[in-house]
Structures are given as structure tokens and as C-alpha cells.
């Protein structure tokens, strides 16, 4: 099912009735043109009032939240930092790693005014829930350039997040940054993803099926002492595999404990340095920033 919403100020989702599949419907949509959007301020205003946002999957009610959204049929993810690659160079690099998978790549409303900003949509051969989405994200992030910043590994904390539809601002129109579609190859096969079912249960911190920030608020299920013990254990004994997931959960745990951001950074860098398979420094920095931004957005929304 396709659910459409106009503007972030409006929280009403409209069901789209069509005989097409979710993916067929999506790739038939032409990009909206917004030549008057020529700054960050105008881009933000456009998102609030005019931009079209979408969810594809199954909602149990018209109320969009992490509980009511049961599954999705298309993976949407953002690329917020391409480390200097412009839109066309970024497209070329994405196409080279996703050449056997169907995809839609398009510039976001902020493209050009916040650097290169892209969104990628990938259809899957079966629907997936929040837990599977996080595992798929971990698989996809390993395909992309390591110096890029995406929301692939922090997405589980935003399971019901809307995805903006293709739109071309003044910069995208001037530079001819157009959407790119590959609908010739097959959908992403979830069965072929080389990820074990126990990917996120390698230590007690990874038992949650939602964001560590959200899950850890359930103090009736997990005591402060347990949270602290789990965090310290993972810091002292960092894993050699699935490091992004481990450190994302650690940041969420430490933020929940109201640890100062500078202390969080110091602790994770120390832990990473003592790992047998450490992340690159800039990679770890992006992980910390990504989860911290998610926590900040949740605080702004939920208070």
C-alpha cells in the first residue's frame, strides 16, 4: 500500500489506490520542479508546506508511528555526505555497486545548498519489518563508499520515517541533476543477503528490535545498573564484526544515561582503538553524529 502526505506540517496520510505495485507506482512519478528553492531556508520551508512524502508498506491505522507500521516494501535511505563527490559522480559510484539491484536515485530538496544530497529507493522481493530493515541497512552500508554518510545504520530508530518524493530545486535544475532509475534488474533478494538471524544479538545491548534510545526508556524491563553494565562491557570488549551496530547502540545507551557528548566521543574512540578490527576514525565520527542527531530529533518531537 502507498501512503502519501503533503508537507511535514500536515500529519494526514492519504492512501493511494492503484493497480500498480508500490515500486511501479513510484518509478512512474515524475520529479516535482521547484525552481524557486535556491537556499537552505527555502528548502526547509518547502519541506514543511509543499513537499510530498511517502510510506510504502502496511499501516494498521492512519496514525503513523513505529507501532502501527508493520512492514515496508521499499527501502528508502538518504546520503547526506559524499565527501566532495558531486551528484553525477555520486550516481556513478552508486550504480557501480548496485548494478544487479533495481533502484531509484534522486536529489533531495536540499541538494546543492547542503552539499550533494541524495535519496535512494530499493524495492525488495518481500516485505520486511523494522528488525530486518536494520539488518538490510548494515548490508547496504558495506557496499557504499566508506567515506560517505548515510542513515542506513541509524534507520531503525526512525522505522516509520517518511521519505521525500523526487523534487528538483534551482540547483538541481541548473546542473541537470536528474533522477536515475534501474528497473531492468531484479528486486533486492532478502534471502541472499549474507546476514545471520542473530546479527544484532551478539551481546545484550543488541536484543532490542527498536532504537536503543527508545528501548532503554523502558526502565521497568531494564534497570540502570543493567544498562550501565552492558555499556561498559561492550566498551571494554568491542566486537570485531558488526561494529557499526555495536557503536550505534553504545551511543544510544550513553545518551540515554545523559553522558556528555564529549565524554561519549572519548569513550568510543578509546574502545575503537582497543578493537582488533577498528573502524576508521571518520567512520566512527559519522556513526556518533548520526545517532546523536536521531536522539536530538526524538527529544524535540517527544519532549
Predicted local confidence at residue 50, as pLDDT: 93
Burial class (CB in 10 A: 0-12, 13-18, 19+), 203: middle
pLDDT at 142 exceeding the cut of 90: no
Task: Tell which wins on pLDDT, 42 or 291.
Answer: 42
Predicted local confidence at residue 106, as pLDDT: 97
pLDDT band with cut points at 50, 70 and 90 for residue 167: very high
Return phi, psi of residue 182, to 5°. Answer: -125, 100
- Provide the grid cell at 283: 567512520
- Write down the pTM of the prediction: 0.66
- Provide the grid cell at 11: 500529519
Q: Which of 35-49, 143-157, 235-249, 282-296 has the highest mean pLDDT?
A: 35-49
- Residue 51 gets which letter from DSSP? -
pLDDT band with cut points at 50, 70 and 90 for residue 48: very high
Cβ pair 28, 20 in contact under 8 A = yes
pLDDT at 47 exceeding the cut of 60: yes
Average pLDDT value for residue range 165-174: 97
Q: What percent of the chain has pLDDT over 70?
A: 83
Amino acid at each position: 500500500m502507498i501512503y502519501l502526505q503533503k508537507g511535514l506540517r500536515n500529519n494526514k496520510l492519504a492512501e493511494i489506490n492503484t493497480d500498480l505495485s508500490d515500486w511501479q507506482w513510484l518509478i512512474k512519478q515524475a520529479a516535482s520542479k521547484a525552481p524557486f528553492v535556491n537556499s537552505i531556508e527555502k528548502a526547509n520551508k518547502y519541506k514543511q508546506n509543499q513537499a510530498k512524502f511517502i510510506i510504502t508498506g502496511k499501516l494498521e491505522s492512519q496514525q503513523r508511528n513505529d507501532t502501527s507500521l508493520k512492514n515496508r516494501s521499499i527501502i528508502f535511505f538518504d546520503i547526506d555526505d559524499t565527501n566532495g563527490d558531486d551528484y553525477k559522480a555520486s550516481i556513478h559510484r552508486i550504480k557501480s555497486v548496485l548494478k544487479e539491484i533495481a533502484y531509484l536515485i534522486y536529489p533531495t530538496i536540499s541538494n546543492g545548498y547542503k552539499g550533494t544530497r541524495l535519496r535512494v529507493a530499493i524495492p525488495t522481493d518481500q516485505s520486511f519489518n523494522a528488525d530486518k530493515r536494520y539488518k538490510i541497512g548494515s548490508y547496504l552500508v558495506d557496499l557504499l563508499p566508506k567515506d560517505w554518510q548515510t542513515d542506513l545504520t541509524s534507520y531503525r530508530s526512525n522505522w516509520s520515517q517518511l521519505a521525500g518524493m523526487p523534487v528538483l530545486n534551482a540547483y538541481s535544475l541548473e546542473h541537470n541533476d536528474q533522477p536515475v532509475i534501474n528497473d531492468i534488474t531484479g528486486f533486492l533478494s532478502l534471502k541472499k543477503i549474507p546476514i545471520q538471524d542473530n546479527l544484532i544479538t551478539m551481546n545484550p545491548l543488541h536484543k532490542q528490535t527498536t532504537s536503543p534510545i527508545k528501548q532503554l526508556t523502558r526502565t521497568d524491563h531494564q534497570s540502570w545498573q543493567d544498562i550501565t553494565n552492558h555499556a561498559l562491557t561492550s566498551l571494554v570488549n568491542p566486537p570485531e564484526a558488526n561494529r557499526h551496530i555495536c557503536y550505534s547502540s553504545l551511543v544510544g545507551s550513553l545518551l540515554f544515561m545523559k553522558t556528555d557528548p564529549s565524554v561519549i566521543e572519548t569513550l568510543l574512540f578509546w574502545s575503537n582503538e582497543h578493537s582488533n578490527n577498528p573502524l576508521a576514525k571518520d567512520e566512527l565520527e559519522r556513526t556518533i553524529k548520526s545517532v546523536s542527531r536521531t536522539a536530538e530529533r526524538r527529544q524535540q518531537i517527544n519532549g
